[in-house]
Structure 1
């Protein structure tokens, strides 16, 4: 049984279907481009192996909320009518939002259909797509599966069967873990929120902190999302050199608070440096904790300075917040860093690897990737004609990773598709005279290419 975006059940299988544009994935990226393609009159079909926005429902921990406020983390066409604009939507509410949004324009989404392989046709245009429900032929394919396809646990992970080891994608709540202390490796948004939740539950927590950016949750009565907007940071087109692997420590949990690692330490969390290696029950850490915290502080203070300068330059009446520059004294674990830890002696029974994700485009058998398997594209338009990507970090700018950024990236990709269709619709004078028409209909797009979901 499949369900469309309108909520109707259908027993209809894909079978042998022809469509102009096939979109793979019905998360925020797939819903966004479906809206734009619909507005442009492009016949398309969206396939999703699970439910709409499934990753928001089951791919994260139970207490997750959006990291941006409701006024910011949404599409332009629909607000969160049951939340304060400055609130942070719980994950289930975010998933419901995308399902409702798709229903607004009756997006042609089929759920429960797994795309197994996409191959370019030989000697004729378009692609052949193998799915769990049959074969589809499409002129174009949009990979809207996003960047969080396969969780990454580094090869240094120990093989000790006495330890429970999971990736942050498999973490749900503290009760899921056996009794004992926990080592959380990775201090980006996921790692720090999970570590904080475990600390609040009464666990002893060790948090391995690498390089990170640490923006204020809010400053002088404006959320950091607002500050990045007015300061032009969302529109940065390229990442600063050397910052490719720097995570962002920000959280909307508990009403939204600035992440303060020293504050976590003063509450009892043990901070350690970047995880280096394991030797039996002993884990070794780099001696870089103080430097990593200092660089995070530098990032934090630089945004405060830029905000102050913007306020003064524009004469804004926003309240002063001198306490935002207060920094906790160095806790013991920073002044005298832990470089080695015997997990058994420390009572550590679990390790949570908050070490990120990688893409998995193994199903996409096309010439659109570099030697490292990364998509080759310009703003989502692949180097392999007819293939598009959507939902990638820094796809067009820094804001691409956020919900609203995906929506704008999707508009660019959809416009490109519509433009290509208009070229294919061209007929020269002799063709128009022979056809006896005005050449407005596309040579490669017929009525058969339109599919009802």
Structure 2
């Protein structure tokens, strides 16, 4: 059996793997990037057709490269992001090998590195960076049986309204994906129910600056500790249609029926929690808290930003919030499809190292695991809030490249 040897192996050629390759190239460390499909595959095949980034192009990018095809204030579509990452990899000379799936990774018996088994042979490496990102395995609750007769798909499999059979749609999950998919379906003339759980809904912009700018100005991109109480709180923000603040009242005004969290299913009836008004109110409170923090920052720094009092106007509750639907007979309501916008979980079944904590999650400090030479990259809160985003992962990759270089020395 032929064994290929490389100093550093990167698993995954998404934004994390491409950023890692750039920094390793700068330090002169020989490396190889293995990708089971194509560069930026999840952007290609696991996103809906009209998806755009949730931050403007001046922000959602690597510091070393701008977008060539869109204005800085615009929001890049998924095809632009794929092209951006492909171009970056090509011009940086990233050694990407596509069509190679990693099936097992274990430590060499002498502790000098790692043995990596793949669909295309065996590799040995002194260092390995797992850059597989956070979107690994779709979370798909199974309490609605297939015998219900309703089509059920995860948001990663949704493409456009024409993909679904005629009839009403329930979108479960009101983070960025769920909100944007529900809005698109409603604008296409579908009857839509949107299940809304706990969420944050920041302003798209305030007093002349985009939300992502405010995160930087307020130091929130650099927050290092994730509050466990907010683990299941999603963020509802959108770059669709030129970017706008998500307001669930607007969605209701466009015909979407808001409901609480989906709880259970029995005899053709889907039951929702009586928590819709509370979830909407908490989202409003979060929204206003961002405005308060921004106003305080402007006053403290003596900035001459335009006033925007209308941003604080919160409209009345729509009827679907005041009189929530708690039980929905799917057949009677004409519902034929359910889209689960319920996020992802991690999948490291191929990883044969003792690098997980008691909850089965990666154990590391800023991506450096307890096993010398093994690293994680691209995960939420790897080092701070910015870690899973395109510009944030670039900085984490720089830190890991420096750590690897120090090991070489």
Once the 2 structures are TM-superposed, how far is the Cα of residue 154 of structure 1 from its aligned partner? 1.6
> What corresponds to 2:296 in structure 1?
309
1:437 matched residue in structure 2: none
SS in 2 for 1:278: strand
Counterpart among 165, 168, 177 of residue 178 in structure 1: 165
Contact 1:275–1:283 under 8 Å retained in 2: yes
1:29 aligns with 2:16: yes
What is the CA deviation profile of residues 229-271 of structure 1, one whole-angstrom value per residue up to 9, with x for unaligned ones? 0000000001224111100000100000000001111111100
* Alpha-carbon distance in 1 for matches of 2:144, 2:244: 31
Q: If you compute each CA radius of gyration, which structure gives the higher value, 1 or 2?
A: 1
Equivalent of 1:193, from 145, 157, 180? 180
Alignment match, 1:224: 211
SS at match of 2:202: coil
CA distance in 2, matches of 1:360, 1:164: 25
- Could you tell me whether the CA contact under 8 Å between 2:198 and 2:234 is conserved in 1? yes
Cα deviation, 1:198-257, whole Å, max 9, x if unaligned, reads 000000100000000000001111000000000000000012241111000001000000
Q: Equivalences for 1:6-17 in 2 at 5 Å?
A: 15-17=2-4
Deviation at 1:124, TM superposition (A): 4.5
**1:177 deviation in Å?**
0.3
TM-score w.r.t. length of structure 2: 0.98
Shift of 1:103: 1.2
Q: Which residue of 1 aligns with 2:147?
A: 160
- The ranges of structure 1 where at least 4 consecutive aligned residues each deviate by more than 3 angstroms after the TM superposition are none
* Residue 311 (structure 2) pairs with residue 324 (structure 1): yes
Name the counterpart of 1:300: 287
CA–CA separation in structure 2 for the residues paired with 1:124 and 1:319:
60
Give the Cα separation in 2 of the matches to 1:195 and 1:352: 9
- Name the CA distance, whole Å, in 2 between partners of 1:367 and 1:141: 14
User: Do the aligned residues in 1 keep the contact of 2:69 with 2:80 (CA within 8 Å)?
Assistant: no
What is the match of residue 385 of structure 2? 398
1:96 to 54, 58, 83: 83
Cα distance in 2 for partners of 1:241, 1:164 equals 33
For residues 62-95 of structure 1, give each alpha carbon's deviation from its aligned partner in whole angstroms, at most 9, with x where no partner exists: 0000011000000011101221111000001001
Separation in structure 2 between the aligned mates of residue 161 and residue 342 of structure 1, nearest angstrom: 11
1:270 match: 257
Equivalent-residue separation in structure 2 for 1:242 and 1:132 (angstroms)? 40
SS of corresponding position for 2:94: coil
Correspondences of 1:115-126 after superposition (within 5 Å) = 115-126=102-113
Residue 161 of structure 1: how far off its partner (Å): 4.4
Aligned to 2:371: 384
Cα contact 1:282–1:342 (8 A) shared by 2: yes
CA distance in 1, matches of 2:365, 2:56: 29
For residues 42-121 of structure 1, the aligned pairs below 5 Å read 42-121=29-108
Asked if 2 retains the 8 angstrom alpha-carbon contact of 1:263 and 1:328, the reply is: no
Contact 1:30 1:144 (8 Å CA) reproduced: yes
Further displaced range: 363-372 or 329-338: 363-372
RMSD over equivalenced CA pairs, Å: 1.1
- Tell me, yes or no, if structure 1 residue 137 matches structure 2 residue 124: yes
Q: Residue 212 in 1 paired to residue 188 in 2?
A: no
TM-score when normalising by structure 1: 0.89
In structure 2, the gaps of 5 or more residues are: none
- Provide, for residues 337-377 of structure 1, a one-character-per-residue CA deviation record: whole Å limited to 9, x for no partner: 11111111000000000000011111111111123321100
Q: How many residues align?
A: 409
Counterpart CA distance in 1 for 2:92 and 2:273 is 52
Indicate yes or no: 2:156 matched with 1:169. Answer: yes
1:8-27 CA-partner distances (Å, limit 9, x unpaired): xxxxxx95211111000000
Deviations 1:281-301 (A, max 9, x none): 101111100000010001100
Q: Is the 8 A contact 1:158 1:280 kept in 2?
A: no
Separation of aligned partners in 2, 1:85 and 1:31:
22
State the SS of the aligned residue for 2:147: coil
Query: Is it true that 1:19 corresponds to 2:6 in the alignment?
Result: yes
3-state DSSP class of the match of 2:229? coil
Find the aligned partners of 1:197 and 1:124 in 2 and give their Cα distance.
53
